[in-house]
Amino acid sequence: MAAYATIQDALDRYGEDYVIVSCDRDGNGILDDEALALALEDASDWIDSYLAGRVGLPLIPPIPRRLVKVCIDVAIYELCEGAPTMTTQKKERYESAKEFMLDVKTGARRLTFDQELMQSPNSTQSAQTVIQPQQRVERVCGSRLYTRDTLRKL
């Protein structure tokens, strides 16, 4: 699976200095591309754990900008955790990302896609996901099968 954000996305969003300081594991002042790429993939898996059951996975590009930011923030936090490069700002960005994803998971917030997303009919996935521009993603379920009243009758 491809990550929801790229190294270039991180550089564009936060600048080269911020990203290098966050992702320079050996202290030589050079960005550790492999570590950041792996962290972005891990962050994308983390995002999927919150989206599972609410939208069809994996998401088809273009990825909502908010998820790109969440992916970068989580990846940088994970790279800096326990390192001297961890800052309060990185912790706050991670906590904000976690709160946002929890809200998405519970339905308190919804993702907004900028463009139409359509899964190719030739795809190997069984379900087709179509999302119109500016349409919000929402999963609609039937009524509850088990309630207090129905369980009492068992």
Q: What percent of the chain has pLDDT over 70?
A: 79
Determine phi and psi for 136, rounding to 5 degrees.
-90, 145
In a domain, 49, yes or no: yes
Quickly state the pLDDT bin for 141 (edges 50, 70, 90).
Answer: low
Give me the number of domains the chain comprises. Answer: 1
- Establish if 72 belongs to a structural domain: yes
Question: Do the domain assignments include residue 105?
Answer: yes
Please tell me the pTM assigned to this model. 0.72
1 in any annotated domain: no
Per-residue confidence (pLDDT) for residue 40, from 0 to 100: 97
Distance in angstroms (rounded) separating the CA atoms of residues 29 and 32: 9
Contact 48, 13 (CB under 8 A): no
- pLDDT bucket at 27, cuts 50 / 70 / 90: confident
For residue 85, what are the domain limits? Answer: 7-152
Which residue would you say has higher pLDDT here, 86 or 131?
A: 86
